[in-house]
Structure 1
Amino acid sequence: MRGVNASPAIPADRVRLSVAPMMDWTDSHCRAFHRVLAPHARLYSEMVHANAVIHGDRARLLAMDPSEHPVALQLGGSEPALLAQAARIGAEAGFDEINLNCGCPSDRVQAGRFGACLMREPALVAESVAAMIAACPVPVTVKCRLGVDDDHEWERFVHFIDTIAAAGCRSFIVHARNAWLQGLSPKENREVPPLRYDWAYRLKRERPALQVVVNGGIADAAEASAHLAHVDGAMLGRAAYHTPYLLHELDVAWFGGALRSRAELLRAYRPYVEAQLARGVFLKHITRHLLGLFAGQPGGRAFRQVLSEGAHRPGAGWALVEQALALTERAQAA
């Protein structure tokens, strides 16, 4: 990174645990809930295209509660000038990091020449990253795959990383599998291409100055903890969403503190929920993120059922959450 404007470093303890950007899931309500569960986790927005940030409804697209910090804005796009403008806007909106998506394999990103397609254009990514770093004062990071389709050469992957690092990027989130641009849906792309964590481990071993966070297929606390022996951090995706108590368990195990019950954590979320309801937000937009809190627990099905059936009704408020909790606690006591 000689002669370039290097991105600011992220403190090591701030990349150890993070929650992946997930379309239609990690909105502000979800992130505020995850913050209650995991005070030390780094949180990420859904991917937002740079054009949407520049021209769209910023109040909605960049919605963020102060409790969410540290929180990153993930951008999609492939035009350096637009990405730089969007990065500046994101930083001015209060985001603590701007992350460039180089891993999404959907048809939309292929048509727009961004996401995973950028794995084959390292020079363009480097130009984009350099422009983003110059435009905003917060860390600029990259989330990528190992390759695209039949790209299985380590040299190609590490060339991609080295090219972007030379532009000033210090931190990489590696979804440790390829993206298949033909023949697989985005959902299948999260499950079918084989995981190769050893590439992320090797990257950290051979490029120790870089921060490397591993993502992909991490299902439980033991798996997440095992990664810390090899890389700087573990990023959880679907496991954090479908079994969110896992975030709390990891936060306590890795950073200290007392383990709190699910009910206690949920009630700690109440002030946020009631503040949103007072602003006119419907309860259903919030409680959809809570459905996995009692996954695998006695009463978990009743908890989900009460919220799913009642949250969409006019006037639904915190009393419905207490009703769901009461049924769940009764089942657990039995």
Structure 2
Amino acid sequence: MSPFPAIEGAADLPTPASNTRRPLELMIAAPRGFCAGVDRAIRIVELALEKHGAPVYVRHEIVHNKFVVDALKAKGAVFVEELDEVPDDANVVFSAHGVPKSVPAEAQDRGLSYLDATCPLVSKVHRQAERLVAAGRHIVFVGHAGHPEVIGTFGQVPAGSMTLVETVEDVAALDLPDPANVAFLTQTTLSVDDTAAIVSALHARYPSIDAPRGEDICYATSNRQAAVKAIADSCDAVLVIGAPNSSNSVRLVEVAERQGVRAALIQRAVELDWAFLDGVGTLGITAGASAPELLVRELVDRLATRFDVVEREVETTRESIAFKLPRGLDAAA
């Protein structure tokens, strides 16, 4: 059963007579939507509410999706940007994107009870950063300035031990004090192709650079981008369901556009501009890792008010990863 309320009023226009509707083929990418880290983060908030009762405070959006956040607000979650907005003795959850070390330290100093919903794959990058700095390496971090995951990762190590790059041009402009002791890490939700180009530039500039032991871009980000590539060439346009502040969702739009296909990002079906579908016979649909399947069905239902839709799911891989809940909540689950 879905943890979210049923959607009402998904279609805001009457259904035209069937003989006036033209056909529209939907190619729906799989995998799409929720990843294991998002599932885990949402479940942590829900179980904290069951265990402690409302309100439970959440620092930052638990995941970047307004529909998810609003559904949790309705259950008693209160979202804040900083801990100084949290009352003393309250229960607080840290978002899936990760937080600087200073945040749990502040929570402990104030006696707040907290749960860390950081995605385990982001936590893995945090631990790698600590080990590299301890080994005397300066880290070049590939990511997007201002993103919560980047802020959280930089907050794991002493100031000055990590440098952010966003582009190949940034690599060319680097001026590191000890080029022989350099390593790199990446944000987990980047473009696979863009990151490969930046990493190639890093290897060319610093031949002895330490690379991560495993892929930093998470499986869900890579899988969703591969799924869009698999359908894009057969589509006239692609719609991505996701939030504008969701890095992995924005990357999906870019992936489609680089395949030469018109693409747009929408948060809900109601945002669809019907003019976008002019001349479209085959429409690709996917959803970012923070967007529930309910929103995909909402979009399909809305399209069915104007078109005779035929759905086809194109699956490129099957995901079976699940992450453990924090101790203390696993029993409640």
TMscore range, shorter length: under 0.3
**Larger CA Rg, structure 1 vs 2:** 2
Structure in which a larger fraction of residues adopt strand = 2
Structure in which a larger fraction of residues adopt helix = 1
What TM-score, normalized to structure 2?
Answer: 0.27
